Structure 1
């Protein structure tokens, strides 16, 4: 762990956490597909240094708001959850969100309310594609700003001020591309992005500490699926639209988790966070890694399933996620809308990671076990057979995506890659033949919506 001294000769804060490059050889091995398919060549020490320093960087606007939300009731400057909901709704209060979140579970020994806003199903149609001038609209925000606490106003300013690089037509096209990917998108995000991310210590230990997935795994997976699918709906990422609100709320949730686990009063407890080892609980390096799992990894994973993603679709999908990353508070240094830049960045993120921790296998097994809890279409007698099929399908795809060594590290049983064997020709027909025509793409869009809705319903707790 590198460190420096300040002007007074006292030891300064460390530059990197202990985890930084602690398993670089392993990261190099896991990153071989990126070097081959993602054209990531060589090691850029300056980029690795930037990633290393980012382990101690946080979302400053989110951190300020989290600090204000954690103040005792009645303290001047405190921000309440009602104020947050009203602000994200443009002045109209929403139903109280449930504890929990798209990634994290309810904080143990805490009454902090975190979690995504309920999905607004009242907007299910495209909205105007005119560029948004958020400085003058909507009217509700102007009326709200006079009584909005400074930390909340600062966050609102960041997420409503649309950067000049945002191209709304490209964002909408990226959403359409993700809709057309359908089940392929859900498969890759669950298996290669989510479970694949469990191979590294740090974020997995935070997830385990919050109780996510190991307790109520089905609900956590449902919330993550619902958020990801919601991003692909027309107009959903415009300021104050449903997916915009949910994404900003996830940002606040991350900030609350970071503030809770980084609290000095908690460090001496048994469940205290080891900042010297891992960096900040929710930090910019891990945020960049997560974003890379949702954009670049999604593209590469779908291609390995036989999906044709031409450069135009790749650019649109990357642009969509660049805007999402901005809303989540990811540092501009890690926001890119070029696929090959992302693969290069992802490769260096792998080199910077730690090895697997004991939390990884626990989380991976929870995801596999959750397949038996899903509710599938069909009569009740059919459920056990379908659950068994989905479990075996998941293990088959995980074996192909992650490899034998990673499966053993996660404590998961190996399976032949039979799922890839049927998906490759099926996706070849869908995306390389049918998807080349306008009508074919429209059919893929309808198919993607149906599959996404069915997958989401199957993860819905107590779904009839």
Structure 2
């Protein structure tokens, strides 16, 4: 009988079959069985030990002559393979792949998703920062690459600014056209992921028996769902109810973003319920929160104290700190707040303010084109303002833009 290699982080198949009143309710709501079949369990196990094969293959070539080959990669990325001094098969093969859109790509849905994203305004930033990111920190498997690459000690505002810059880039109109920033920054981040995977997999500090492969397929897929499915759940809780077309377009957008980032199609979702199932599996693919959860959570919570407010600096910093804590508390239990090293407040006041505000504004926008246009315009402006606050004096972020 063949022995199957399973990282210690993944629970047994038997344990993942557990059934209780919570799983029964979630299965009823999502109209599916949450527990994986044995074939799905094997796929999950494989995904924890699999990287991004096309990019990893290209990186193997880059590392044969890092200085020169990385220069050629960046010429191909930002200027096109036609601008290389001579034909390079490895680069042509990779860029032929990423420049050829999948047959299922729908440009109208992509455009609709960008408009929906912009209209969410500051709500998207709050959900991604205070729910998606904080929840991610509760699962140490996501944190390991940050620890071993030294990013754990990097200022939270810089980490946040780099992620937000990428998100801003891809949510511009026509962002994924070949030489626009959405496309180039996504491929650059994909390259960085592969580079981290290359070095950590060779490092004695990386415990592959516990964690599988660094930045593996499943962890990348769950990060993608944090930007899509978790955000949809979050904005609903804050009073914004997207219609079926908006949900479908938004998930389609993130399916393509994930595809371009190197996630296998089997881990990209078409329906929210598919994402919920993968989220359920996550509790069995990560150990319990540890000291890294607290270190990253408390660091992110204190990020507002580094913001470059112009007026009433100390007051605005303290207010922002409380606002973000309020939103996290609105979604997370007392125990999870403790695991993240977060200070609980008497009431999640700011989240309730946003809920009331959003119900009024977004319900009204369904009946007023002027209000809808105003939300679209002001929403995008507020998103970019949020990036400015995260960026501060870090004008040089990851060198993904030329």
Match of 1:95 in 2: none
TM-superposed deviation, 1:149: 2.9
For 1:23-42, list aligned pairs within 5 A: 41-42=33-34
Aligned counterparts, 1:361-440, within 5 A: 361-376=294-309, 378-379=310-311, 382-415=312-345, 416-440=347-371
Q: What SS class does the counterpart of residue 262 from structure 1 fall into?
A: helix
Change (3 A) 1:384 1:450: same
Residue 201 of structure 2 contacts residue 213 of structure 2 at CA under 8 Å; is this kept in 1?
yes
- Taking only aligned residues, the RMSD between alpha carbons, in angstroms, comes to 2.7
Higher mean C-alpha displacement, 278-287 vs 26-35: 26-35
Quick check: 1:49 aligned with 2:39? no
* Partner residue in 1 for 2:400: none
Please give the secondary structure, in 2, of the residue aligned with 1:162: coil
Matched with 1:198 is 137
Alpha-carbon deviation of 1:151? 2.9
Would you say the 8 A contact 1:28–1:351 is kept in 2? Answer: no
2-side partners of 1:33 and 1:347: how far apart?
12
Displacement after TM superposition at 1:213 (Å): 4.8
Residues 199-241 of structure 1, C-alpha deviations (whole Å, 9 max, x = no match)? 1121212112222253222111111111112211101112222
What does residue range 44-443 of structure 1 map to in structure 2 within 5 Å?
Answer: 44-45=36-37, 46-72=39-65, 79-80=69-70, 82-91=71-80, 141=81, 143-144=82-83, 147-263=86-202, 266-267=203-204, 272-376=205-309, 378-379=310-311, 382-415=312-345, 416-443=347-374
Residue by residue over 1:53-91, the C-alpha shift from the partner in whole angstroms, topping out at 9 and shown as x without a partner, is 2101110111112222222468xxx622x2222111233
Going from structure 1 to structure 2, the CA distance change for 1:42 and 1:323 (only over 3 Å counts) comes to closer
CA shift at 1:32, angstroms? Answer: 9.8
How does the TM-score come out when normalised to structure 1?
Answer: 0.78
How far off its partner does 1:360 sit?
A: 1.3
**Cα-to-partner distance string for 1:341-381 (whole Å, 9 max, x where unaligned):** 222222223333222132111111111121100122x42xx
Change (3 A) 1:456 1:42: closer
Rounded Cα–Cα distance in structure 1 between residues aligned with 2:193 and 2:154: 19
How far apart are 1:51 and its partner, in Å?
1.4
More helix by share: 2
Contact 1:31 1:350 in 2 (8 A): no
Structure 1: gaps spanning 5 or more residues = 6-13, 92-140
Offset at residue 444 of structure 1 (A): 1.1
Residues 83, 32 of structure 1: alpha-carbon distance in 2 compared, 3 angstrom cutoff: farther
- Secondary structure at the aligned position of 1:235 is classed as coil
Q: Please, which runs of 5 or more residues in structure 2 have no aligned partner? A: 396-402
Q: C-alpha separation between the residues in 2 aligned to 1:351 and 1:182?
A: 34
Measured in 2, the distance between the counterparts of 1:155 and 1:27 equals 44
| In structure 1, C-alpha distance between the alignment counterparts of 2:223 and 2:138, rounded to whole Å | 13
Aligned residues: 391
Q: CA contact under 8 A between 1:27 and 1:350: conserved in structure 2?
A: no
Question: What does residue 457 of structure 1 align with?
Answer: 388
